[in-house]
Chains A and B, each alone.
Chain A
């Protein structure tokens, strides 16, 4: 497997979640629950594949889990206008608790080495990796080249305007949230079925939060967001290359670079950093 494909493989779960979150944030919603969504996706996808033997069913289940969590989150964050950060936190806690508990109860005692059918690949390239790359281009096209994308972005910049133009901000944001949930679920499923072929406790290890960071680093534009994810995957891999070659480098500082860079970009751009203006602000329709 070539090095390029290896980087792409490790970046794929992150990229899927980050691209989903890009659309969600463009619509004005910050959903920090994608960490939990990914974890739940990874776990239930693994269970489904274990039961059916088919990784495709597993990927489907991952998506389904993501959509379900997004609908519940939407009911609270959008319909009831509960604070988005609170809703996301609840999703994360619930997913972490649920997967850990179920995993320990089902597999904890046996100690059997859990191994499931992986997503089939050709020369190191598999369908999900292709989907992730195509998705970046497709979401870019939809967000910036269609009228629906314009409405969606309006919901994130100036929801009153979208509402006045005859769009339902609630529906737009729900659609974005469901898409984001589906992608985070798929990303999680790919983590267990594409990369690991197994499941481990808390296996996302902050990748959902990482995805949110990458959305910021890519400045809310799908193709740069994919680029940011690939850069991170490459840096991550470099760490092991350096170690193998015995290069002495404080690689932790090296790994902190993308986050420091993202903070500097945000600080440097100030309010012009292309963050959606109505991000995290609940929308209530006035009568």
Chain B
């Protein structure tokens, strides 16, 4: 317990320190700003709900990134897979509109997952069969997805009026259950929490998960044990893209009810530090998503009273990633040096 608790506390302390230092560096009144962030995130029940809403897509996509990166697949195509999932969800909602809402909702979610997963598999296939670097192929595929998305918004998925490049708004019956009409908290939050448990179970309790991790950590060892790394890299990629696609359909049914330009909100890039600072572990990713969701919600509150707003999140994420990798590398080196002395 101590082993997991201490780093978690250290991380929280480090992140808070980064926040304070950022506020100081930009010349913001520290106490007042922290107060506003606190109130907007965890200091009130409304804040908690906004935190949960913001954390939901971050959690799903962070989990997606963690699965792929664990398998050694540097998937930075979260943006594209998110948009592919959004198209999948919206296409299902439009084509199957005759299906009653209660049955259609899960179909939309599944369709988002499948489209996101299939889109990610393109990059997986390109690596496994053709040796194309995943970083490069996912960057290229992000651009393809953005253009496809905008094409669909002016074409087959466009609103009936045909004026603005956006889809028709879903009827209220299609939206995910809301606990209270006064705020945005929707049942998609539960989907994200379930996903944490499921991804944990897959990665750490099943043979497939073990092989996925082995394919990433030591492909030679995998091959020596007749485990083909390629197959498990593909599985990881499909699951990763699927989670990104699911995040999109949850956002679609939970918040917007409509697709328009800018739907992706750069979530694909914000999810990477969420996964990294969660140590690529599902539970860690869940906590890190809540932290950044809270920071997002809190800084929105701060933005209402100053020019200083949600952008602070990117600064914190950037500095936190530097600090995290720096500290981890130094610790690893010390460990290695210690091991050499002992042997």
Contact = CB atoms under 8 A, between A and B. Distances in A.
A263 B126 contact: yes
B317 A82 contact: no
Interface in A68-87: 76, 80-83, 85-87
B329 interface: yes
Contacts of B322: 76, 90, 94
Contact of B276 (A80, A86, A275): A86
Contacts of A213: 136, 139-140, 143
A137 interface: no
Interface stretch (B46-54, B88-96, B146-154, B218-226): B146-154
A38 B321 CA distance: 20
Contacts of B120: none
Contacts of B16: none
B140 A97 contact: no
A250 to B, nearest CB: 6
B143 A259 contact: yes
**Which range contains the number of B residues in contact with the other chain?**
35 or more
Given A85-B74, A267-B126, A93 B318 contact: yes
Interface in B311-334: 311-319, 321-322, 325-326, 329-330
Given A86-B321, A96-B314, A252 B76 contact: no
A210 B136 CA distance: 10
- Interface on chain A toward B: helix, strand, loop, or mixed SS? helix
A271 B147 CA distance: 28
Interface in A254-273: 255-256, 259-260, 262-263, 266-267, 270-271, 273
15 contacts: A30-B135, A80-B326, A80-B330, A93-B273, A94-B315, A101-B308, A213-B139, A252-B154, A253-B148, A262-B140, A263-B141, A267-B126, A270-B131, A271-B130, A273-B132
Interface of A: 30, 32, 76, 80-83, 85-87, 89-98, 100-102, 104-105, 108-109, 206, 209-210, 212-213, 216, 250, 252-253, 255-256, 259-260, 262-263, 266-267, 270-271, 273, 275, 279-280
